[in-house]
Structure 1
Amino acid sequence: MFAAMEAARLEALHLVQDPASGLRAVIAIHNTRMGPALGGCRYLQYGDERSAIEDAIRLARSMSYKAALAGLEQGGGKAVILREPHVQNRASLFEAFGRFIETLGGRYITATDSGTSSIDMDCIARHTQHVTSTSEQGDPSPLTAMGVFTGIRATAMARLGNDDLDGLRVAIQGLGSVGFALAEALHAAGAELLVSDLDGGRVQLAVEQLGAHPVACEALLTTPCDILAPCGLGGVLDMQTVAHLRCAAVAGAANNQLASPDVAESLEARGILYAPDYVINAGGLIHVALRHLGEPPSAVTAHLARIRQRLTEIYAHAQADKRSPARVADQLAERLLYGA
């Protein structure tokens, strides 16, 4: 385990259990050089405990890089709570988690993520102030979608020479709270939408409200489009899937879209522009970080403009140096975090 921490340059790894509530959780704190670690709490079923730990470590690192390139005075962390098939009292479980967060003394601030809601954060807030995206502070999903939307415009400009999205074919994989909000913004801009989701009801809603074209989940990645927007869980792009992509660019909201770092080079070799996920999806982090500090919504909206600026900078460096945008982004983040 220490080898995995060293490889990820992780500062701390906490394993938490509370038999009374059934809580079993992992908190990974990657880097606190820029400020307290901030990162969401996932509540998902995992095949085994090691998978949960690896997920937390990988996501915590991404949060450090995301915060650094977003210009936030925050470090990166992540929590995962292992979800059991049957939970007696969900509120008690999250309250127990809140009690443990309080023992960290502000070194880690939690927020909503896959499988958790503002109501869960309200339960945590009963025992610690080191939590954001509560019901009072609001859902960060629309801000994540807004950031991805502006990032897609930057990507279209860099790859297609025009940021006018009217008539652009965008394939959205995953219509959760972020994916659907992104689809709404793209529809308003005149984009043609191709959508897939495991929840057929969400797909039908997009068809009815947004005129989207439904595509089977297993077919979306090979469907011709201008931009592919992965908005579900991570790891969707590996060597095999990249070989069959039929798009000009990949720009979506999902975390950890690349199954391994070398997939970025494969995308580059195929001439597919990749928007580094932790850069383009920083809108939610910007929202929870600034709202936690008491900043008004206007400050959040103004800060979102930095996503487009940062992506444009990364694309320019990548083109000039003939490197993948993912590698450029990593090096920029590492320079900020480690002085590398």
Structure 2
Amino acid sequence: MEIFEYLVKNEYEQLLMCHDPASGLKAIICVHDTTLGPALGGTRMWNYASEEEAIMDALRLARGMTYKNAAAGLNIGGAKAVIIGDSKKDKSEALFRAFGRYVEGLGGRYITAEDVGTCVEDMDYIRMETHNVAGLGSVAGSSGDPSPMTAYGTWKGIKACANAVWGSDSLARKVIAVQGLGHVGYALCKLLHDEGATLYVTDINEDNVMRVVKDFSATAVKPEEIYDVNCDIFSPCALGAIINDTTIPRLNCCIIAGAANNQLKEERHGDILERKGILYAPDFIINAGGVINVCDELLEGGYNRERAIRKVETIYENVKKVIAIAQRDNVPTYKAANTLAEERIRVMRQVKKTYLKAK
């Protein structure tokens, strides 16, 4: 793996390897771009098969955060962190405080928050070492767990896709296959169920599956069978790279719209979906609700839930905007979403250059 070549090619600013023998911390912080402001992105804890896999996950996720934050109209850059370990067995106060010291060492360039495998309690430990953390549970004015807002924004984005395909944003009687039933997936299933959708669900955690089946009258399928469900909408809400050469031929849906990051294993898979007539909601557009919610903490006066909800609701219009750009330029939706984000970053880079020259 040629790290520096990859960093240059994809315009990364920083890759930091973090190790604390006393606590067992092995972590990677990746800052992709700070053109729009300090880089904000969650900390994921996962039992990676290799260190290279962990590095690649951090790199891909950080770049995705840059695009997500830019397209959502937020004045923050993109970054991500991953901690190598089992979130069910390896967590400790010492580990997260050690990680917090590394965040503090970046001097405000990186602001962290929850992600897969971490929670508000973990952020509270990080807060003991740095103020550059959001989504806390114990600090007045904090937004807490961002998962419900991620689910809410994803639901809004699904409705925008439904309107584009069927002329109505109602999800009543639509068959929706949801992959991944963690905090976000569960909250999304509730919203879909309350609107009258029929749910087929799966997760690697059997307890998560049983909970959704019980609470929302969903039909459970095995993890590998979710791609074969004959449905209107496939909603990936687990990990990334699940839209690939193996899964695409098995999909029986009109729309792919979910909360997972980096759903396309490669960009060419977005081209294949376009040719198959499947509308793909680019993940960093539709799943921005969580970061929008967390970012509200950084505004003057602190967190305002009503203001955050209003901003999350703009995801509906953002998805419509991406679909319109795709139709106008005759390109797949993932390219339209990239255009939306890249244009904002390009303009702000030019503004900064002009300002620095004037000084």
Give the TM-score taking structure 1 as reference length: 0.97
> Which amino acid counterpart does residue 170 of structure 1 have in structure 2?
I
Which sits farther off after the overlay, 47-56 or 33-42?
47-56
Question: After the TM superposition, which residues 44-59 of structure 1 pair with which residues of structure 2 at under 5 Å, given as runs?
Answer: 44-59=46-61
Given that 1:8 and 1:57 are in contact with CA atoms closer than 8 Å, whether structure 2 keeps it comes out as no
Shift of 1:321: 2.2
Answering whether residue 284 of structure 2 is matched by residue 282 of structure 1, we say no
- Aligned with 1:333: secondary structure? helix
Give the root-mean-square deviation of aligned CA atoms. 1.5
- Aligned with 1:133: secondary structure? coil
- Aligned with 2:112: secondary structure? strand
> Which amino acid counterpart does residue 220 of structure 1 have in structure 2?
I
Deviations 1:239-269 (A, max 9, x none): 2211221000000000000111100000000
Match of 1:268 in 2: 274
Given that 1:8 and 1:58 are in contact with CA atoms closer than 8 Å, whether structure 2 keeps it comes out as no
Match of 2:145 in 1: 139
Match of 1:35 in 2: 37
Aligned partners of 1:199, 1:99: CA distance in 2, in Å? Answer: 32
Shift of 1:86: 9.6
Given that 2:87 and 2:117 are in contact with CA atoms closer than 8 Å, whether structure 1 keeps it comes out as no
Gaps of 5+ in 1: none
Match of 2:111 in 1: 109
> Which amino acid counterpart does residue 139 of structure 1 have in structure 2?
D
Question: After the TM superposition, which residues 178-257 of structure 1 pair with which residues of structure 2 at under 5 Å, given as runs?
Answer: 178-257=184-263
Shift of 1:65: 0.3
Shift of 1:215: 1.5
* 1:316 pairs with one of 303, 313, 324: 324
Which sits farther off after the overlay, 179-188 or 41-50?
41-50
Aligned partners of 2:224, 2:295: CA distance in 1, in Å? Answer: 36
Aligned partners of 2:304, 2:88: CA distance in 1, in Å? Answer: 39
Deviations 1:170-196 (A, max 9, x none): 110111100010000000111111111
Aligned partners of 1:87, 1:182: CA distance in 2, in Å? Answer: 27
Match of 1:21 in 2: 23
- Number of residue pairs aligned between Structure 1 and Structure 2: 340
Answering whether residue 75 of structure 2 is matched by residue 67 of structure 1, we say no
Aligned partners of 2:190, 2:61: CA distance in 1, in Å? Answer: 27
> Which amino acid counterpart does residue 313 of structure 2 have in structure 1?
A
Match of 1:157 in 2: 163
- Aligned with 2:41: secondary structure? strand
> Which amino acid counterpart does residue 241 of structure 2 have in structure 1?
G
Aligned partners of 1:203, 1:173: CA distance in 2, in Å? Answer: 10
Which sits farther off after the overlay, 238-247 or 118-127?
238-247
Which sits farther off after the overlay, 94-103 or 199-208?
199-208
Given that 2:177 and 2:235 are in contact with CA atoms closer than 8 Å, whether structure 1 keeps it comes out as yes
Aligned partners of 1:49, 1:148: CA distance in 2, in Å? Answer: 31
Kindly tell me: are residues 189 and 90 of structure 1, through their superposed partners in 2, closer, same or farther at Cα, counting changes over 3 Å?
same
Given that 2:87 and 2:118 are in contact with CA atoms closer than 8 Å, whether structure 1 keeps it comes out as no
Aligned partners of 2:251, 2:90: CA distance in 1, in Å? Answer: 44
* 1:96 pairs with one of 95, 98, 101: 98
Deviations 1:19-55 (A, max 9, x none): 1111111100001010100000011111111111111
Deviations 1:292-331 (A, max 9, x none): 4313101101101211111101101112222110011011
Given that 1:317 and 1:328 are in contact with CA atoms closer than 8 Å, whether structure 2 keeps it comes out as yes
* 1:307 pairs with one of 298, 310, 315: 315
Match of 1:8 in 2: 10
> Which amino acid counterpart does residue 328 of structure 1 have in structure 2?
A
- Aligned with 2:247: secondary structure? helix
> Which amino acid counterpart does residue 276 of structure 1 have in structure 2?
P
Match of 2:357 in 1: none
Aligned partners of 1:8, 1:271: CA distance in 2, in Å? Answer: 30
Aligned partners of 2:321, 2:89: CA distance in 1, in Å? Answer: 46
* 2:125 pairs with one of 123, 141, 160: 123
Shift of 1:200: 1.8
Given that 1:239 and 1:266 are in contact with CA atoms closer than 8 Å, whether structure 2 keeps it comes out as no
Aligned partners of 1:96, 1:214: CA distance in 2, in Å? Answer: 40
> Which amino acid counterpart does residue 3 of structure 1 have in structure 2?
E
Aligned partners of 1:327, 1:197: CA distance in 2, in Å? Answer: 30
Shift of 1:277: 0.2
Aligned partners of 1:241, 1:45: CA distance in 2, in Å? Answer: 24
Displacement over 3 Å in runs of 4+? 84-89
Given that 1:291 and 1:297 are in contact with CA atoms closer than 8 Å, whether structure 2 keeps it comes out as no
Shift of 1:85: 9.2
- Aligned with 1:219: secondary structure? helix
Which sits farther off after the overlay, 268-277 or 211-220?
211-220
Gaps of 5+ in 2: 350-359
